[in-house]
C-alpha cells in the first residue's frame, strides 16, 4: 500500500520561545490525534518532523501514524532561523526515506511539505540555493505558514505553492492552522467535484491565504 | 450557545445551535437544540438547477419513496432530507440524525487508544483489513453474516433509488453508514442525487468508487459529449466495490501492477482506462503481490488466501459480471436488484464456523467436507442442506438455485415456502413470521412445522400438521405448500 509522507518543518528559533512554541506543540498533538481518527489517514499517512534554529534537527523520522510518539518541541534561548539548512536536511531525508516506484512495486504518494516560520531565513544564500532543489523533488503540495508580526509571506513564496499567514501566534491560530493541515492531508477520500479538483480545503477564517 | 430559528421553504419552524458539529465535502452541519435533527448548509452558492434539485429531493422524490406503501421501511435505510432552509443567502437542508448504532460504542482496542468512541462508524474502518486487525475493538467488528446483511441493506437502498429513476452518484464508505454489530446500513448525503436528463451531477464521486469510464474522461469538459459523468451505471460500479470491500476488506482493483512511475498517473490508470480486477480469472497482470502487503492485512489482503469465490456461487458470478465483464462495459454491470436477490439467497447458504472464529460464518462451499476459509476449522456433525424446488406447472418441480443450510436456530419463512414471496420492504407483517424451525435432537436434525398448513412428506404422502415435526434424512422430500409457486424441499445430508 502506498504511504502518504508528510514532512513538517518547524521554526524553533529563539523568537518562538514561550507561547508560540507551546501553541505549536498543542497544534501537532491535535493534528496527530485527529489524523488517527481518520481510518483513511491511519492507513497511509506517515509523518516526519524537522525543527530548525541555528541547527536543523530530525525530531521524528518518517513514521507511521499509529507508531508516532509525539515529541515535545523546545526552543533555545535565542538563535537564528536556518531554514536553508533545514531544507538541505530535508532533501537528504527524502532521498533516504521516500520509496520510489519501480516496475515491480508501487512507491509512495507524492509527499506533502508544511513549513512554519515566524521570521526570515537567516541563511538566505543557502535558502535560495535549496528552494529549486526542494521544488524539483515533486511534492504534492508545499504549504508555508508565516506566523506573527515579523514574518513576511514573501519570505516563503519561493519555496511554497501556498502561503498562509497567522497574525497572532497564539494557540487558536496554530490550532486552526494544524486543523487545516489535517483536512488537507485527509482530503484524499472526500468526494471530488465535476469541474475542478480542489487541492486544498478552504482555510478557516483565522488564516489568510496569500498566494 | 445561540439558537437560531428559521422557517423552512414549506413553512415549518426549525432551530439549530450555532456551532458546527461536522463538515462534509460541501456542507457545514449543525444540531437542533434537542439533537433530533440536523441542519446542513452548503458552503458554496447553489445554481438554479441545484436549488431546483434540492426542492425535488425534499419534495416529490421523498414523497415518492416514503409516502407510499412500505415507506416506513426506508426510514432506516436512508437519511433523507426533509426540508430546505435559507439563511443569509446560504441554502441548507434539514435531515434526520443518524441512528445511535452508527456511532462507535467501544471504538478501538486498548481502551480506545484512538479516541474514536462516540464517532461515526465510517465504513473505511471496516473495509480495511489492517484497520480491522490493528485497531477496531472486537465488539465493533461484527461477523461475516452481519457484513452480508449490510451489503443486502445497501443493495436494497440503491435498488429503490434506481427504481425511482434516481442515481446517488457518490456512493462510498463515507456516504453509506454501516453498523457491523447489528448488520445495518444507511445511505446518507442524498442531496447530490442525479436525475438523468434533468439534474446533472456536481461530484464525480469518491476515489476508490469512481467508475473507470468517469476517471478516464475526467480531463474532458463537462459539456463534451464523450465525458462520462455519474449515473445509475456508475452507481452499479460503486455498489459492487462497496460489497467487495465489505466482504473481503480490500479493493478489487488495487493490485500489484505498476502502470506509471508517477503515483498520481499510476492511480489514474489503475482506476481508469487500465483498470483490471485483481482476481481476473485469466489476466494475472494485476495480482496482489503477497510480499508487498503488511502482516496486518493478512489473510484478507491476499486474494489467493481468501478468494472472492468464498462468497459462494451466486455472489461470485456477480463479482465476475461487475469486475470482469462490466468493468469497462457499464451496461453489463449487475443491477442492485441482482445483488439483493443473490445476497438473500446467499444468506440462506451460510453456516456457523464450528470454532466460532472471528469470521463466524461462511458460505457452504458445496463440498462434502466444508471448512471455514478463515480459521480452517472443519464443520463438525451432520449438516442438512435443503434444496428448494418450486412448481411451475402442477406436478412439475424445478430447481430454484436456492439452498438453505440447516444450523441451530435456522428458520423457515414464507419466502422459503413460496417462490412468489420475496423478502423485501413489501412483506406484510404475517409474511415476516417464522413458519418452521430446525432442532438437533440426539444427533438427528428435525424440522418443526409452525405455520405451514399444507406441509406433506412426499414419500409417505402423509401430512405434517402444524406443531408436528419430521426427521431430516438424506434424500427425504417435503412439500411445503400445494399452491402455485409452492416449494418442494429435497434434503441432502453432509457428514462433517
pLDDT in tens, B199-214: 878 778 888 999 999 9
The residue-averaged pLDDT of B183-188 equals 94
Whether A193 maps to a domain, the answer reads no
pLDDT at B205: 86
Average pLDDT (B368-381) is 90
Which of A106, A186, A190, A205 to mutate: most B Cβ within 10 Å?
A106
CATH fold label, B3-97? Phosphorylase Kinase; domain 1 (3.30.200)
> pLDDT tens digits for A135-191?
998 888 898 988 888 888 888 999 998 888 887 777 777 777 787 788 777 765 556
Contact in structure between B241 and B252 (CB atoms under 8 Å)? yes
pTM of the model: 0.92
CATH T-level topology, domain B102-348? Transferase(Phosphotransferase); domain 1 (1.10.510)
- CATH number (domain holding residue A39): 3.40.50.410
Kindly report the average pLDDT of chain B as a whole number.
Answer: 92
Would you call A104 and B258 a contact, using CB atoms and an 8 Å cutoff?
yes
How do residues B227-245 score in pLDDT, each as one tens digit? 999 999 999 999 999 999 9
Task: Find chain B residues with C-beta within 8 A of A64's C-beta.
Answer: none
Q: Say whether residue A99 is in contact with chain B using an 8 A CB cutoff.
A: no
The pLDDT assigned to A187 comes to 61
More confident residue, B1 or B146: B146
Q: How far is B67 from chain A (nearest CA, A)?
A: 30
Whether the pLDDT of residue B49 is over 70: the answer is yes
Is B49 an interface residue toward A (CB < 8 Å)?
no
**A195 or B84, which is more confident:** B84
Confidence of residue A134 (pLDDT cuts 50, 70, 90): very high
In a domain, A37, yes or no: yes
Rounded Cα distance between A101 and A110, Å, is 11
> How far is B468 from B453, CA to CA, in rounded Å?
11
Q: Could you tell me if B265 lies within 8 Å of chain A, comparing CB atoms?
A: no
Q: Which among B208, B266, B289 has the least Cβ separation from residue A101?
A: B266
Is residue A194 in a domain?
no
CATH hierarchy code of domain B381-495? 2.60.200.20
Q: What is the mean pLDDT of residues B367-389?
A: 90
Task: Over range A109-122, report the average pLDDT.
Answer: 91
> Running DSSP on this structure, what letter comes out for residue A70?
P
Round to whole Å and give the CA distance between B140 and B132.
9
Q: How far is A62 from chain B (nearest CA, A)?
A: 17
Q: Where are the domains of chain B?
A: 3-97, 102-348, 381-495
Please give the pLDDT value at position B23: 78
B304 has a chain A CB within 8 A of its CB = no
Is position A113 within any domain?
Answer: yes
List Cβ neighbours of A107 (8 Å cut-off, separation of 6 or more): A2, A98, A99, A100, A101, B261, B263
Interface check A29 vs B, CB under 8 A: no
Domain interval for residue A180: 4-97+104-188+199-209
How many angstroms away from the CA of B36 is the closest CA of chain A? 25
pLDDT of residue B92: 93
Rounded CA separation B463/B448 (Å): 13
Q: What is the 3-state secondary structure (H, E, C) of chain B?
A: CCEEEEECCCCCEEEEECCEEEECCCEEEEECCCCCEEEEEECCCCCHHHHHHHHHHHHHHHHHHHCCCCHHHHHHCECCCCEEEEECCEEEEEEECCCHHHECCCCEHHHHCCCCCCCECCHHHCCCHHHHHHCECHHHHCCHHHHHHHHHHHHHHHHHHHHCCCECCCCCCCCEEEECCCCEEEECCHHHCEECCCECCCEEECCCCCCHHHHHCCCCCCCCCCCCCCCHHHHHHHHHHHHHHHHHCCCCCCCCCCCCCCHHHHHHHHHCCCCCCCCCCCCCCCCCCHHHCCHHHCCCCCCCCCCHHHHHHHHHHHHHHHHHHCCCCHHHCCCHHHHHHHHHHHHHCEEECCCCCCCCEEECCCCCCCECCCCCCECCCEEEEEEEEEEEECCEEEEEEEEEECCCCCEECHHHHECCCCCCCCCCHHHHCCCEEEEEECCEEEEEECCCCCCEECCCCEECCCCCEEECCCCCEEECCCCCCEEEEEEEEEEC
Average pLDDT over residues B76-83: 94
Tens digits of residue pLDDT in A56-111 = 999 999 999 999 999 999 998 888 999 999 999 999 999 999 999 999 999 999 89
Distances (CA, A) of A76 to A52, A54, A73, A85, B11: 10, 9, 10, 17, 62
- Look up residue A157 and give its DSSP letter: T
Inter-residue contact B216 to B183 (CB < 8 Å): no
Amino acid at each position: 500500500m502506498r504511504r502518504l509522507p508528510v514532512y513538517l518543518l518547524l521554526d524553533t528559533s529563539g523568537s518562538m520561545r514561550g507561547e508560540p512554541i507551546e501553541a505549536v506543540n498543542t497544534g501537532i498533538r491535535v493534528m496527530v490525534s485527529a489524523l488517527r481518527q481518520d481510518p483513511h489517514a491511519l492507513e497511509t499517512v506517515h509523518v516526519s518532523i524537522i525543527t530548525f534554529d541555528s541547527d536543523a534537527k530530525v525530531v521524528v523520522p518518517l513514521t507511521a501514524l499509529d507508531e508516532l510518539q509525539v515529541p515535545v518541541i523546545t526552543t533555545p534561548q535565542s538563535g537564528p532561523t536556518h531554514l536553508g539548512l533545514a531544507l538541505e536536511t530535508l532533501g537528504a531525508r527524502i532521498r533516504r526515506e521516500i520509496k520510489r516506484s519501480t516496475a515491480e512495486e508501487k512507491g509512495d504518494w507524492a509527499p506533502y511539505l508544511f513549513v512554519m516560520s515566524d521570521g526570515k531565513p537567516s541563511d538566505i544564500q543557502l535558502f535560495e540555493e535549496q528552494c529549486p532543489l526542494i521544488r524539483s523533488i515533486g511534492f504534492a503540495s508545499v504549504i508555508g505558514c508565516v506566523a506573527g508580526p515579523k514574518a513576511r509571506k514573501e519570505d516563503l513564496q519561493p519555496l511554497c505553492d501556498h502561503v498562509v499567514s497567522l497574525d497572532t501566534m497564539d494557540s487558536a491560530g496554530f490550532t486552526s492552522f494544524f486543523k487545516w493541515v489535517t483536512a488537507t492531508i485527509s482530503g484524499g477520500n472526500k468526494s471530488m467535484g465535476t469541474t475542478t479538483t480542489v487541492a486544498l480545503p478552504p482555510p478557516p477564517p483565522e488564516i489568510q491565504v496569500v498566494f | 450557545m445561540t439558537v437560531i430559528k428559521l422557517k423552512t421553504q414549506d413553512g415549518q419552524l426549525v432551530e439549530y445551535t450555532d456551532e458546527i458539529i461536522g463538515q462534509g465535502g460541501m456542507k457545514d452541519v449543525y444540531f437542533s437544540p434537542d439533537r433530533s435533527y440536523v441542519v446542513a448548509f452548503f458552503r458554496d452558492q447553489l445554481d438554479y438547477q441545484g436549488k431546483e434539485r434540492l426542492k425535488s429531493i425534499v419534495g416529490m422524490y421523498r414523497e415518492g419513496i416514503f409516502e407510499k406503501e412500505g415507506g416506513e421501511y426506508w426510514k432506516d435505510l436512508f437519511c433523507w432530507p426533509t426540508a430546505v432552509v435559507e439563511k443569509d443567502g446560504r441554502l441548507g437542508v434539514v435531515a434526520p440524525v443518524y441512528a445511535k448504532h452508527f456511532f462507535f460504542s467501544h471504538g478501538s482496542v486498548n481502551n480506545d487508544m484512538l479516541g474514536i468512541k462516540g464517532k461515526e462508524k465510517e465504513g473505511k474502518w471496516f473495509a480495511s483489513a489492517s484497520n480491522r486487525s490493528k485497531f477496531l475493538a472486537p465488539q465493533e467488528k461484527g461477523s461475516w453474516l452481519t457484513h452480508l446483511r449490510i451489503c443486502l441493506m445497501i443493495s436494497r437502498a440503491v435498488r429503490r433509488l434506481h427504481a425511482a429513476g434516481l442515481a446517488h452518484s457518490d456512493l462510498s464508505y463515507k456516504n453509506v453508514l454501516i453498523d457491523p454489530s447489528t448488520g445495518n446500513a444507511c445511505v446518507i448525503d442524498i442531496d447530490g442525487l442525479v436525475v438523468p436528463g434533468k439534474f446533472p451531477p456536481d461530484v464525480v464521486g469518491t476515489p476508490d468508487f469512481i467508475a473507470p469510464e468517469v476517471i478516464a474522461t475526467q480531463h474532458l469538459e463537462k459539456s463534451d459529449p464523450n465525458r462520462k459523468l455519474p449515473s445509475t451505471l456508475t452507481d452499479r460500479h460503486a455498489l459492487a466495490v462497496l460489497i467487495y470491500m465489505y466482504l473481503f476488506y480490500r479493493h478489487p482493483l488495487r493490485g500489484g501492477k505498476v502502470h506509471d512511475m508517477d503515483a498520481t498517473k499510476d492511480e489514474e490508470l489503475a482506476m481508469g482506462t487500465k483498470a483490471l480486477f485483481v482476481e481476473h480469472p485469466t489476466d494475472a497482470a494485476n495480482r496482489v503481490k503477497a510480499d508487498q502487503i503488511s502482516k496486518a492485512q493478512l489473510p484478507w489482503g491476499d486474494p489467493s488466501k481468501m478468494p472472492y469465490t468464498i462468497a459462494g456461487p451466486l455472489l461470485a458470478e456477480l463479482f465476475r459480471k461487475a469486475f470482469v465483464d462490466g468493468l469497462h462495459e457499464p451496461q453489463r454491470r449487475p443491477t442492485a436488484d441482482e445483488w439483493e436477490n443473490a445476497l438473500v439467497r446467499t444468506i440462506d447458504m451460510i453456516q456457523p464456523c464450528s470454532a466460532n472464529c472471528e469470521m463466524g460464518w461462511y458460505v457452504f462451499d458445496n463440498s462434502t467436507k466444508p471448512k471455514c476459509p478463515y480459521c480452517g476449522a472443519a464443520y463438525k456433525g451432520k449438516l442438512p442442506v435443503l434444496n428448494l424446488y418450486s412448481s411451475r406447472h402442477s406436478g412439475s418441480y424445478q430447481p430454484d438455485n436456492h439452498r438453505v443450510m440447516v444450523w441451530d436456530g435456522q428458520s423457515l419463512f414464507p419466502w422459503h415456502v413460496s417462490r412468489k414471496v420475496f423478502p423485501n420492504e413489501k412483506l406484510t407483517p404475517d409474511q415476516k413470521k417464522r413458519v418452521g424451525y430446525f432442532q438437533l435432537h440426539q444427533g438427528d436434525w428435525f424440522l418443526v412445522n409452525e405455520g405451514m398448513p399444507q406441509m406433506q412428506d412426499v414419500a409417505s404422502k402423509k401430512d405434517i400438521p402444524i406443531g408436528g415435526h419430521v426427521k431430516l434424512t438424506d434424500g427425504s422430500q417435503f412439500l411445503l405448500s400445494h399452491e402455485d409457486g409452492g416449494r418442494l424441499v429435497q434434503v441432502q445430508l453432509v457428514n462433517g
